[in-house]
Structure 1
Amino acid sequence: MTDRLTSEAAALDASHAATDRRDRFLLPDGVVYLDGNSLGALPRHVPDAVADVVTNQWGRDLVESWNTHGWWQAPAAVGDRVGRIVGAAPGQVVVGDSTSVRLHQSLHAAAALRPDRHVVLTDPDSFPTDLYVLAGVASQVGWAVEKVVPDKMAKRLATSDDVAAVLVSHVDYRTGRLWDLPAITAAAHDAGALVVWDLCHSAGAVPVGLDEHRVDLAVGCTYKFLNGGPGAPAYGYVAYRHQAAAPNVLAGWHGHAQPFAMERDYRPAPGIERMRTGTAPMLSLLALDAALDVFDDVEVASVRARSLSLTRFLRVCLEELVPDVDVVSPSKDERRGSQVAVRHEAAYGVVRAMAGRGVVGDFRTPDVVRLGVAAPYLTHADMLTAARAYADVLASGEHLDAGWSQRSTVT
């Protein structure tokens, strides 16, 4: 069986050779890294790019770098680069702050754009930050929060005209379920509601098509499939048609129409620049800018094709090598993001034992082994290695070792 799977992996890797970008990343030898949906790997050229920012721009040119090196324009310029990846024309994405801040801004903007409606829908299984931020904004604007599974939202939206906005994560962070962005967006619009999409687990892995599908607002982090680095700044998208009326509830001087006039009263800048707040974290922003070079010569649709082949093959390997494996990620390509999640009662021990064998995944409470597939730097041979590690850990009982009983704060 394993000889056949080895041959199949080699054939699949040969057929997808055009999208193999592993040589552009710094990865430890002997490690299969399946946690890129938590923290993307380091693009090989980023250290030199950051060293130039520190040594030459900051170190030599000092404050003049805001002008001579384009620091002031960077939040919108890098935003346009992210925009290309998520299907947004220039002038609709700005980078800076955290996903929580961007989500707070977007939800307040939605409330202002739909002032006579007082219900917001969201997925009960969304990432906790989304639920926390939404609860806070709802208390501030007077929304009632209704938790509805995304594939039932269209039915709920059709029942009344009280929904102001819908907040959905494009990909379920635990199971990897990919929700139907075009259909949910259309259903929200048919009901007169706005839609806010969280793209944290899809940007850079799944074609999004924000403009194509007339999404209203979107947010996302850049340290997962975009490989921006730990704590890399997040981004916010506001469609052109909403920008003039969308307020920035976190108004700061960088979002002012004339920031260096130092006026006492706030006047929002035109366009997406109004969604800027304070000074962006330039070192991490420019590290992200360099990291995005990885996508310069590859379309997200091609990355998606590679990802689907990798996750499909990983599932095949798990099902052939592990009796009664409980794969909870969707088997259908159109419903699956870029990960394969497996349920096991001792999931934490499984994840730690696999890491001991050089296969790095992660654990999600209460019982999910999450194997994230960052397609540019992974191969089908890696998928087979991961499945073998999973099978060997269970067969040996390593996951039950007492040494794995103390959970770390991260995984």
Structure 2
Amino acid sequence: MTDDLLARAEALDAADPLAHLRDHFITPDGFDVVSYLDGNSLGRPLRETARLLDDFVREQWAGRLIRGWTEGWMQWPLELGDRLGTVALGAAPGQVVVADSTTVLLYKMSRAAVDARPGRRKIVLDTDNFPTDRYVLEGIAAERGLSLVWIETDPAGGITAEQVADVVDEDTALVLFSHVAYRSGWIAPAAEINRIAHAAGALTLWDLSHSVGSVDLHLDDWGADLAVGCTYKYLNGGPGAPAFAYLRRGLQGELRQPIQGWMGHRASFEMGPGHEPAEGVRALLSGTPPILAMVPLHANLDMLAQAGIEAVRAKSTLLTGYVLELADRWLAPLGVQVAGPRDAAHRGGHVTLQHPAFERLLATLWENGVLPDFRNPNGIRIGPAPLSTSFVEVHRGLTMLRTLLEKQP
């Protein structure tokens, strides 16, 4: 019987305006992956990334040595931040830096936010946010004598504006949520939540780790206060690539981050007594920037700028919609449930599927070259990356998943 879903995948690939970009990614000799479905966890490397890294080591690092700092490296955190803001975040220049890990930046921004609202005793967060976000806020609450206000969210959904409005009040210092929920893929109504928090005098902090490079963002237009996110998922920055932080221009100078290092000083090489924060978003820096780890971002921001975030989002929506088609046709009869939003307006870049057998099937999927990831209690996330994943590749991966499920006793 003709597989009409395969024909549909082939037609979608033929009409894909971003299809040619797949050739920009490295496919090693003997590549054993037939379907990479974990772009929402770790992106693939570009050929240009390998070239830039080799050039950096041989020419800039080896050739310029310490001169590289004054010839450009010192400005990379701000220059890459501005580029990221323009290409992916909807942020005007002078509001984004690239530095540190997501966890460190979450701590810096959260501590600065609660300290900027003295006398307010509450931080609002949700129970199903990524563990790091919850753990960091638990530590800050203990450190500063604050109370955490937990919002119970549906693991198959996410935070809503109504839930936030029910708990935010004049004693709230900060609200922190993920824009795209790591488990379900739910897109939070950021602009509306920002308005609710601001009406009560609270600040907002958004984790963009599962959004950036997959969902079009408009931080300035949404009235966001602070945001952080990683660069190793849809931005393909590599394992442990540095994160980024956004601080709204109107708050710069008011918020003071707690890790006072030399790179965030008004005059880094003055090395005098006492810390005097630099003007603007540079004050968010602490130690020496991870320059080598920033190299891949140059290549990936070039590609994202070429593609355009609107086109990336359009393809992401089609990819996840196609995953839902396959799940409904093939997997639902085998007991698989969709644990996330079906409406594209509320769906991020991945789809979570649930079945009791998924945990034990994951190793077999990986052995057969199909790579999703598993999240407790019984979910796998299908995260096709718009720049590197084809529709036929999604078809191959879910074909293998269906085959394994059909063999279950």
Instruction: Give the TM-score normalised by the residue count of structure 2.
Output: 0.93
Q: What is aligned with 1:77? A: 79
Give the counterpart of 1:259 among 268, 292, 295. Answer: 268
Question: Contact conserved, 1:43 with 1:294, CA < 8 A, in 2?
Answer: no
Question: Contact conserved, 1:157 with 1:191, CA < 8 A, in 2?
Answer: no
Deviation at 1:351, TM superposition (A): 2.1
Cα deviation code 1:312-363 (max 9, x no counterpart): 0111012111213211121110111111111111222222222222211111
State the alpha-carbon separation in 2 of the partners of residues 252 and 198 from structure 1: 24
SS at match of 1:259: coil
Specify the code of the residue in structure 2 equivalent to 1:381.
Answer: V
SS at match of 2:5: helix
Question: Contact conserved, 1:153 with 1:184, CA < 8 A, in 2?
Answer: no
Deviation at 1:19, TM superposition (A): 5.6
The count of aligned residue pairs is: 396
Question: Contact conserved, 1:229 with 1:287, CA < 8 A, in 2?
Answer: yes
Cα deviation code 1:156-213 (max 9, x no counterpart): 246x311111000111111111211112112111222111000000000001111111
Q: What is aligned with 2:354? A: 343
Q: What is aligned with 2:283? A: 274
State the alpha-carbon separation in 2 of the partners of residues 297 and 73 from structure 1: 23
1:200 and 2:209 matched: yes
Question: Contact conserved, 2:33 with 2:371, CA < 8 A, in 1?
Answer: no
State the alpha-carbon separation in 1 of the partners of residues 267 and 13 from structure 2: 53
1:133 and 2:136 matched: yes
Cα deviation code 1:67-105 (max 9, x no counterpart): 22x101011111112212111111101111111110011
Q: How does 1:9-408 map to 2 (within 5 A)?
A: 9-18=9-18, 20-27=20-27, 28=31, 30-68=33-71, 70-84=72-86, 85-148=88-151, 149=153, 150-151=159-160, 152-157=162-167, 160-322=169-331, 323=333, 324-397=335-408
Change (3 A) 1:2 1:334: farther
SS at match of 1:261: coil
Specify the code of the residue in structure 1 equivalent to 2:16.
Answer: H
SS at match of 1:269: coil
Deviation at 1:221, TM superposition (A): 0.7
Gapped regions of structure 2 (runs ≥ 5) = 154-158
State the alpha-carbon separation in 1 of the partners of residues 383 and 338 from structure 2: 13
State the alpha-carbon separation in 2 of the partners of residues 189 and 105 from structure 1: 21
Deviation at 1:9, TM superposition (A): 1.3
Deviates most, 221-230 or 186-195: 186-195
Cα deviation code 1:16-54 (max 9, x no counterpart): 234652111114365211111111100111111011111
Gapped regions of structure 1 (runs ≥ 5) = 401-411
Q: What is aligned with 2:156? A: none
- Percent of pairs with identical residues: 39
Deviation at 1:396, TM superposition (A): 2.2
Cα deviation code 1:196-244 (max 9, x no counterpart): 0000000000011111111000001110111100110011110000001
State the alpha-carbon separation in 2 of the partners of residues 89 and 31 from structure 1: 40
Deviates most, 136-145 or 283-292: 283-292
Question: Contact conserved, 2:32 with 2:369, CA < 8 A, in 1?
Answer: no
Question: Contact conserved, 1:19 with 1:306, CA < 8 A, in 2?
Answer: no
State the alpha-carbon separation in 2 of the partners of residues 2 and 168 from structure 1: 45
SS at match of 1:11: helix
Deviation at 1:299, TM superposition (A): 1.7
State the alpha-carbon separation in 2 of the partners of residues 34 and 321 from structure 1: 17
State the alpha-carbon separation in 2 of the partners of residues 2 and 147 from structure 1: 51
Instruction: Give the TM-score normalised by the residue count of structure 1.
Output: 0.93
Deviation at 1:114, TM superposition (A): 1.3
Deviation at 1:129, TM superposition (A): 0.6
State the alpha-carbon separation in 2 of the partners of residues 378 and 347 from structure 1: 22
State the alpha-carbon separation in 2 of the partners of residues 170 and 223 from structure 1: 17
Question: Contact conserved, 2:34 with 2:397, CA < 8 A, in 1?
Answer: no
Deviation at 1:116, TM superposition (A): 2.2
Change (3 A) 1:80 1:94: same
State the alpha-carbon separation in 1 of the partners of residues 185 and 91 from structure 2: 24
State the alpha-carbon separation in 2 of the partners of residues 111 and 223 from structure 1: 28
SS at match of 2:65: helix
SS at match of 2:105: helix
Question: Contact conserved, 2:34 with 2:393, CA < 8 A, in 1?
Answer: no
SS at match of 2:246: strand
Question: Contact conserved, 1:169 with 1:199, CA < 8 A, in 2?
Answer: yes
